[in-house]
Each structure stands twice: as structure tokens, then as C-alpha cells.
Amino acid sequence: MHKMLNEIKCHLERFKEIYGVKTVILTQRDGFPISIVGVWLSEDEIFEVCSSSSALYAAAQQLSGKQLSYLLIEGTRVNMMISPLPDLQEFCFTIVTKPKVNLGAIFLKMREHFFHLRNLLLNLSDIKPPLRNFTEEEIRGILKSFLVKPGEEVFDEIKHEVFGLSGELFIKVRNGLKELLTLIQDVERASLIYEGGYLLLSLSRNSECSETSSEDVLAYSLIDTATRLLWITKKTIVRQIMCDCNKFMYLIYHLGSYALVIKVAKGKTKLGFLRLVINSCIDKIRTIMLEEKTKASVLPKIGSIEEFQLAL
């Protein structure tokens, strides 16, 4: 078993040799850690990184209707790509790259390495789904294949923003989303979501909605989990996420306490133009939200969200 894991690590090192690639992570779909190269983590962080990578993979697969091509997370200092392996849906493959690299060139160079890694994993019979609970001895056995750093206790105080949005500002938000739908014909839906997955407003070409759907919750969970994962691995902040599917893609933008989720059909619109228009829309929404006074609170006041939705 140890020999097999060393062989897998050698294959992952080849991915890391590609220009721009900093870290490579391979896990089972359920979060069981197999191998990580390019980052030094504590024992607790190894399990958290692997489980978070797999959680992102599972949420993206569900959001895409099992048609996921790849998930691209863009941070302030690094990018992260999560992809299924061909014919091996039980594994989750993740790479971390420098922020300004040619991702197309990386994809091309990864194809040959994917082929060799796939053949190796297909022949592995000793890697099986993990038990639901681990003994201390089992945990130590898993961690033996990783280079770990000393752990440290960190206590985080969770804070939320509390807001109240007037009817006038709500109309401005609605107009901003409508403008996005008007300018880009391939945009099918645009949604603004508050932290925790609460839908504030969703517009499509034929309808307007304020009831939270599973799609909204999944989209927010991607932002929430990606934020934690990028901070653990590279101490950086998430700016946006692209979930590339077969016939459409989701663009998810992190706006502090909010997330802007845009579903786009793959048509004639160029990605560069799409991002230019979306960035303009984001600037307008940020300006609108800054017009309201905010204050820190330990727990969110659900009543404030209800007041927002009553403006409908």
C-alpha cells in the first residue's frame, strides 16, 4: 500500500512540474485523503483540505446536473481548479496555480499526465472507501504518507452583517440585475444571495423570485467552502468561481456578505466581454449596498432579511 501511495505521489509531482502549478491534491470523492504535493499542512488541516475539496466537487457536480467539466476558483493570490478524472468519478483532483498563468496551456499539458494517473488508479485495488469512523491508529496510518507541520489552536469568532434595505434601494438592485439580462442575451438567470444561502432576489427572462432554491444554497456553499479551503492552503481570499458544465456555466462572485450568481448558456458571447459587463454590474450593486448602514452581530437577525423580501 505504501509503495502504491509513493507511486501516486510521483505522478502528482509531474503535474506540479507544469509551469504555474503550485499544489496538487488527490482525494476520494468522500474526502478520504490520498496524496498532496506542494503544501505543508498540519494533521487537522490535511483532513480539512481533503474534505473541503471533495465537498466542493460534490456541490459542483450537483449544481451542474452531473455535467461538470471543471470548477475554477479565482483568489487574490492563487487560482484553484477542481476536476473529475476521466472514467474515475470516485476521485477528486485539485490543482492550485499562480493567479496570472495561461490556464489553457496548463490544461493541454495536463492531458498526458491525466492519462497515466488514470491508468494507475484503475489498477489500484487496495484503495477502498474509508470507514465512517477512524481509530487513532488508523488516523496515524493515513497521516504517515503526508509531511505534516505542527498544529495550532485557532479560535474564530463568527460575525455577520445585519442590514435593512429600503424599497428604493431594492428597486436599484432589481434594475441592476435587469440591465445585466438585457446587455447579455446568453444570461439565463441572475441571483443575489445573502450569507447563509438566503435568496434576496432572482431574475430570469420570464420571472422574478424571492424563494430560496437548492440551486441558490449550492451556489452559496461553493463560495463558503472555497473561502475556507483557499485560506487554509494559501491564505488568500476568493474573488469569484466559474463552474463550467456541458451546455452552460455558473459565474459566482464573492461580494462580502453577498454572492452574485449568474447562469450563462454557452453561446456566442465571449468570456472577456461577459466579465467586463458583470464587473460593471457588481460595482453598481456594491455602491447600492454601501448606502445602507451595517453593524457587526454575533448572529444574523432573520427579521432583517424578511424586511428585505417584503419589499417585493
pLDDT tens per residue across span 136-146 = 776 677 666 66
Looking at the chain, the whole-number percentage of residues with pLDDT higher than 70 is 79
Give Cβ neighbours of residue 43 (< 8 Å, ≥ 6 apart): 139, 143, 148, 151
Q: Domain 2-149 class?
A: alpha beta
Question: In degrees rounded to 5, what are phi and psi of residue 75?
Answer: -105, 180
Give Cβ neighbours of residue 41 (< 8 Å, ≥ 6 apart): 49, 146, 148, 149, 232, 233
pLDDT of residue 305: 46
Per-residue pLDDT, averaged over 146-167, amounts to 55
In the chain, list all ranges with CATH 3.30.450.30: 2-149, 160-310
Q: What CATH code is assigned to 160-310?
A: 3.30.450.30
Give Cβ neighbours of residue 134 (< 8 Å, ≥ 6 apart): 142
Start-to-end CA distance of the chain, whole Å, equals 59
Cα 162 off chain centre by: 25
Pairing status of strand 33-37 against strand 21-28? antiparallel
pLDDT of residue 289: 75
pLDDT tens per residue across span 15-69 = 999 999 988 988 888 888 888 888 777 777 788 888 888 899 989 988 888 888 8
Instruction: Look at residue 310 and tell me whether its pLDDT is greater than 70.
Output: no
pLDDT of residue 226: 92
Between 179 and 90, residue with greater pLDDT: 179
Least confident range of 171-175, 218-222, 266-270:
266-270
pLDDT of residue 300: 45
Render the burial of 41-65: b for 16+ CB within 10 Å, e for the rest.
bbbebbbbbbbbbbbbbbbbbebbe
Q: What is residue 131's three-state secondary structure?
A: coil
Which string of DSSP letters, residue by residue, matches 274-309? HHHHHHHHHHHHHHHHHTS--EEESS--HHHHHHHH
pTM for the structure as a whole? 0.78
d(CA 137, CA 24): 26
C-alpha pair distances (Å), 225 with each of 17, 196, 210? 27, 12, 24
Instruction: Look at residue 127 and tell me whether its pLDDT is greater than 60.
Output: no
